[in-house]
Structure 1
Amino acid sequence: MNIWTKTLAAAVLAGLQLSAFAAGTPVKLYKNPHCGCCDVYADHLKQSGFEVEMIDTNDMQAIKAKFGVPEKLEGCHTATIGNYVFEGLIPAENIKKVLAEKPPIKGLSVPGMPVGAPGMPGNKKGPINVYYLNASATPKVFSTF
């Protein structure tokens, strides 16, 4: 087996492990009952193997305050999985990575409602950053898609 075959095999195995990781993982997704993108985002998570419980609320500010989401990192909805908070339209792969690696972070955030993110129709206008969810004055990038 050459180095390229070994590398490919390792990548495939890691991908399979990560994709299976979400199977049956419960997600609580707090959303405005009138937001259609949140429903599409919930479908994105379900297609990735998560079990999504949607919780409608007309007071998203109270939810964001409860989970300590800084205003500059606020997204469309707030999801929780275990002790992690996932704010906004985060790709499922990023969530799976956090759950698999269990880093000592509060969670992740995609602020706003960027076009082309999971749940938002349209073509991306450029790269979209996923930030570590923290109260830092300067948010740090977790990944870009």
Structure 2
Amino acid sequence: MKTKTVLTAALGRRQWLAAGLVTLVGMARPARAAAPLPRVEVYKNPSCGCCGAWADHMRAAGFPVTLHAVDFPGAIRRQHGLPDRFASCHTALVDGYVVEGHVPAAEVKRLLASRPRAVGLAVPSMPPSSPGMDVPGRQDPYEVFLVDAQGRETVWASYPVPKTGG
């Protein structure tokens, strides 16, 4: 009986040691970090304040942002194939896409995750409820458009997002 008890105790210790070793090895492996978000290059008029507020919105969402003061941001938009009818106060470039105006960061992230064949996203004009144009107490509707290489748009998202449930 004594041999059986010693064998059981030894086996139990080995199992505990093996489990501990597996745990330590698992802890020693570095966790996979999420891929960093690409840099957002924002081209804006030097005197525009809402463009800086949009850049802050993008930074808060995890994007690294560089601001470029230019006299005519529309030249960047045109150079990258986005028609004038989508114009806003600033043009951004991110990972091969044009982002025109006050596009929510969540939509830019969705664009980068799905990688559609498109020039980019646009929120034409400067809607009062869009990021960087926040007006307390207002929830003005606006749309985010996906624009293709022929200049055709489809609605990518509508804001404010309708509330569900009751």
Alignment TM class, shorter chain as reference: 0.7 to 0.9
Residue number among 74, 82, 104 corresponding to 1:91 in the alignment: 104
Residue number among 71, 77, 85 corresponding to 1:58 in the alignment: 71
Larger relative contact order (CA 8 Å, sep ≥ 6): 1
Asked if the contact 1:75/1:111 (under 8 Å) is kept, the reply is yes
Give the aligned length: 126
Q: Secondary structure at the match of 1:54?
A: strand
Give, as a single letter, the amino acid of the residue that structure 1 aligns with 2:88.
Answer: G
Q: Does 1:144 align with 2:158?
A: yes
Aligned CA distance change for structure 1 residues 22 and 94 (closer, same or farther; 3 Å): farther
Aligned CA distance change for structure 1 residues 45 and 137 (closer, same or farther; 3 Å): closer
The match for 2:94 is: 81
Q: Secondary structure at the match of 2:144?
A: strand
Work out the CA distance in 1 between the residues paired with 2:93 and 2:51: 14
Deviations 1:1-59 (A, max 9, x none): xxxxxxxxxxxxxxxxxxx9684421100101100000100000000000000011002
Aligned CA distance change for structure 1 residues 68 and 55 (closer, same or farther; 3 Å): same
Asked if the contact 1:127/1:144 (under 8 Å) is kept, the reply is yes
Q: Secondary structure at the match of 1:142?
A: strand
Structure 1, gaps ≥5 residues long: 1-19
Work out the CA distance in 1 between the residues paired with 2:85 and 2:74: 13
Q: Which has the larger radius of gyration?
A: 2
Work out the CA distance in 2 between the residues paired with 1:137 and 1:52: 26
Deviations 1:52-92 (A, max 9, x none): 00011002232122112211111111111121110000000
Structure 2, gaps ≥5 residues long: 1-32, 160-166
Identity %: 38
